[in-house]
Amino acid sequence: MSELEELVQSLEDGNSEKVVELTKRLLGAGASPQTVLNNGLIVGMGVVGEKMRIGEMYLPEVLQSATAMHASLKILKPLLAKDGVEPLGRIVMGTVKGDIHDIGKNLVGILLQGAGFEIVDLGVNVTPQKFVDAIEQQAPAMLAISAMLTTTMLNMKGVIEAIGGAGHRSKVKIIVGGAPVSEKFAEEIGADGYARDAVKAVDKVKELLAIG
C-alpha cells in the first residue's frame, strides 16, 4: 500500500494520530500539500461519505474521520496558502432559525473545505437578518442553508425572501439541504440547488459555481 493509500485508509479508520503522521511523512518526502489534500483527504472523505450513505459507517465513526481530516487540514492549510492556492470560492453556511441541528451541516462544511472552498460558518439558529448581514460582510459566492425539522425548513423561504428584499439575490447562489428538504421544496422556495448528502453537496456547489 502506498503512503497515500495508507492515508485514505487511516482517515476511514478515524485514526487521527496516523493521519497526522502520514501527512507529515508525505510532505517530508516531497508530496505537495495539494496532492495530500486531493488524493488523500478528499478521496478518503469521499469513501467515508459513500459508506455512510450505504449504511456501512455510522455517525460516531464518520465524526471520528472528520476529526482526523481536520487534524491533517491544520497542517496543510498554511502550506496551501503559501503555495498560493486560492480557495475555489467563499461559502457562508448556517442552520436556520429555530433549529440547532448541526452535525450534517458541519459534515457538508468539512467536505466543501476539503474540496478547496473557504467556509464561513454562522452556526445554528441563524436569523434571516444574520444571513443577509453575512452576504454584505463576506461577499460569498454561495450560501448553504441547513434545516433538520419539518417546521424549521419553512424558515429557509424566509431567508431567501430576506436576501431578495435586501437586493442581494442575484449576488449569491443558494443551496439548501437537510433530512426533510427535497429537490422539489428547494425549487418551490426559490433556491438554486439542493443536495441530499455532503458528497453530493460538493458536486452540486461546483456545478452551480461552474467549477470544473
User: Contact residues for ligand B12 (CB under 6 A)?
Assistant: 59, 98-105, 107-108, 144-146, 148-150, 175-180, 195, 197-198, 201
Owner of C-alpha cell 496551501: 80
Residue 145 phi/psi, 5-degree rounding, is -115, 135
Strands 173-177 and 193-194: parallel
Q: Which is nearer to ligand B12, 80 or 173 (CB)?
A: 173
In terms of CB distance, is 36 or 195 closer to ligand B12? 195
Contact 159, 96 (CB under 8 A): yes
At 17, phi and psi to the nearest 5?
-60, -45
| 8 Å CB contact between 155 and 167 | no
Q: How far is the CB of 92 from ligand B12 (least distance, A)?
A: 11
Which residue in this structure is represented by grid cell 427535497?
182
Smallest distance from ligand B12 to CB 116, Å: 17
Pick 81 or 100: Cβ nearer ligand B12: 100
**Which is nearer to ligand B12, 7 or 143 (by Cβ)?**
143
d(CA 127, CA 96): 7
Q: How far is the CB of 150 from ligand B12 (least distance, A)?
A: 4
Instruction: Write down the least CB distance from residue 106 to ligand B12, Å.
Output: 8
